[in-house]
Amino acid sequence: MYEIVPNLSEGRDESTIDAAVEAVARTGARVLHRTSDAVHNRSVLTIAGNDVQVLDAAIELAGVALQRIDLRAHRGVHPRIGALDVLPFVPLKGGTMARAVELAHLAGERIWARYSIPSFYYGAAARSPERALLANVRAGEFEGLEARFATMPPDAGTIARHERAGAIAIGARPLLIAFNVELAGGDLELAKRIARTLRERHGGLLTLRALGLRLDASAVQLSFNVTEYESTPLYRIVELVRQLAARAGVTVRRSELIGCLPRAAVESAARYYLGVLPDS
């Protein structure tokens, strides 16, 4: 079994996401969860199946995104390089990371052959160390792809970007929890400062990826990707955000899960807040 978690650059038009879900269903893969956000203008699908099914689903999703999303007119707070922006392959029961990498590379090649959309490989699928981090692949966003072409050409394809669909970041990675924490007030600099403090590449928590984003005049968001929830549990992230925000007189407004997460991650958070020991 494998999972793909495609991020589409459309969070306002439900008919586009309906079309994506229908395209996936035709491949035999199963959509486990869908979520859309109008401010981010982004939707995330959680899809599972065998290796052939998820590969077919990935290619079909690229076609739906090309047909229905035009990046030239896209506006949202979340960074993006493509209509189908991020496409990670994740090994589940019986799956291997080596096969997930192979599927990522096959997806890039077949999407280019069918739709002329270029792709960059990240995570375990990266072909050079500087492309392993998704943030590096997505730097400069859709608008900056042409300028980057001389120094960072795509891994699949011979152009910097497709006119409408941009490019795709295709990866292979372990299970990941996408988790957001919102702060009351519109202090974007505070959110960015907390993100910088907590993210791994600036000396923060193990494997944690973090962004500070503005939602509206009354709220900002810490957007987290957590790949090692055993080492970096969700409650630790929330409580550190709460402490760092409190120093600036700001409170946590709410938290939000995007997609699915392992049951063990929920149980560890529940034990912490209930004060229950793991073996009780």
Which sequence positions are flagged as catalytic?
A: 78
Separation in Å, CA 165 to CA 97, 137, 235: 28, 16, 37
Cα–Cα nearest to 214, from 43, 76, 44: 76
Cα end-to-end span (Å), the chain:
33
Find tokens 């910097």 and name the residue: 160
Q: Taking a C-beta distance cutoff of 8 angstroms, is the pair 41, 76 a contact?
A: yes
